[in-house]
Amino acid sequence: MSTITDVDSGDSDSDCSIGFSLLFGDDSAAQIDSPMALPYAAINVHSYVPMKLDFRADNFSKWKACFEALCGTFALMSHIDGTAPPNPLTPLWIQEDCCVRSWIYSTVSDAVHDFIMEADPTAHKLWAGIAARFRANRAPRAIFLSQAFMTLTQGDLSVEAYGQEMKKAADRLRDVGRPVDDTMMVLNLLRGANPRFSSTCDIIADDPDITFSSALDRLALKELRLAEEAKLVTSTALNASTPSGCGSSGCGSSCRSSSATPGAAATAGRRRRRRPAEAEEEQQPQGRRRRPTAATATRAQP
């Protein structure tokens, strides 16, 4: 009867390596010791961060929110939030950090890329450099951004576009440490709204608990009603201009031309057929008219 004998652990490891080599070849045994491929290393980063960060685009807040959501999805926030890396660095941490750095490089413009380049970068160094650049000169920028926010008006913009511009202006103020509360957003929205919404603005101002989104919804509803009323007025005006005897809406011009009186048409025809001699005689002064010729006297007889 066979028995199972204990085998030394070192001999067991070597036997496993030999077994893998025999079964899968020499390369398989080497792949066991290498870092495993990260499942998110080959994702399309632009499906998570659909914009490129640029100095002139004023999109730092949107880019930051999307990038933080991307890192949070794959549990990589520790690479950008300042968490101390392991000591010594592990191959897995280095691989993760390289992945986050490649995401940063892929979602910034060339100008931002040139600004953040440095020797031996980490994802946190790149992240901190970008945040510091976009938050520099916060005090003077806050003054100009506050002025732009308080002077924003709707003009010919739709309610939706006007609300988006208001939200962007508030986001820029938040980036420089001047957040705008919801009450101030509502008041500024009403201040710059088009005068045709004055009655709706008065109703909104009487509600102390209304939010910015609710105020936008009420203005959008009023805008829709005004558009429908304008369509109704236009339709009524077209119906009023169409002759009553016409049953089709597409023959207004022909009906108007055919509805002219025969007497008016005949008078217009006689005027066009006046002979040059008669026209010249009418244009002469009363005291200097020429004597009637035999031809004109004959035409004057009944």
pLDDT tens profile 144-162: 999 999 999 999 999 999 9
Q: What is the pLDDT of residue 274?
A: 54
Q: Torsions phi, psi of 108, nearest 5?
A: -125, 155
- Rounded mean pLDDT, 180-184: 94
pLDDT at 160: 95
The pLDDT mean for the chain works out to 77
Q: What is the pLDDT of residues 92-106, one digit of tens each?
A: 999 999 999 999 999
Residue 35 has pLDDT above 60, yes or no: no
Segment among 23-27, 34-38, 119-123, 266-270 with least mean pLDDT: 23-27
| Model confidence pLDDT, tens digit, residues 118-146 | 888 999 999 999 998 888 878 888 899 99
- pLDDT band of 1, cuts 50, 70, 90: very low
Q: Which pLDDT does position 172 carry in this prediction?
A: 87
Residue by residue, DSSP assigns 150-212 as HT---TT--HHHHHHHHHHHHHHHHHTT----HHHHHHHHHHTS-GGGHHHHHHHHT-TT--H
| Whole-Å CA distances, 64 to 67, 136, 302 | 5, 16, 99
Confidence of residue 22 (pLDDT cuts 50, 70, 90): very low
Of 10, 11, 9, 30, which Cα lies nearest the Cα of 20? 30
Nearest to 190 by CA among 178, 203, 180: 203
Tell me, what's the pLDDT at 281?
Answer: 52
Closest CA to 122 of 74, 86, 176, 69: 86
Here the tokens at position 45 are 């980063």
- pLDDT above 70 as % of the chain: 68
> Which has more pLDDT, 278 or 241?
241
Among 14-23, 86-95, 274-283, name the one with the lowest average pLDDT.
14-23
From the CA atom positions of the chain, what is the Rg in Å?
A: 42
Which one of 39-43, 134-138, 165-169, 264-268 scores highest in mean pLDDT? 165-169
- Cβ distance 166 to 152 under 8 Å? yes
Q: 96: exposed, middle or buried (C-beta count within 10 Å: 0-12, 13-18, 19+)?
A: buried
The 10 Å Cβ neighbour count of residue 63 is: 21
Query: Residues 187-207: pLDDT tens digits?
Result: 999 999 999 999 999 999 999
- Residue among 289, 293, 271 at smallest CA distance from 280: 289
pLDDT of residue 238: 73
Residue 267: C-alpha distances to residues 22, 262, 263, 270 (Å) = 115, 9, 6, 5
| Residue 220 pLDDT | 95
pLDDT-derived band at 251, boundaries 50, 70, 90? low
Find the Cα–Cα–Cα–Cα dihedral 221, 226, 232, 236, rounded to 10°. Answer: 170
Q: Is pLDDT of 46 > 80?
A: yes
Q: Where are the chain's structural domains? A: 45-134, 138-236
Report the C-alpha gap between 153 and 146 in whole angstroms.
14
At 302, the pLDDT band (50, 70, 90 cuts) reads very low
Cα(101)–Cα(65) distance, integer angstroms: 17
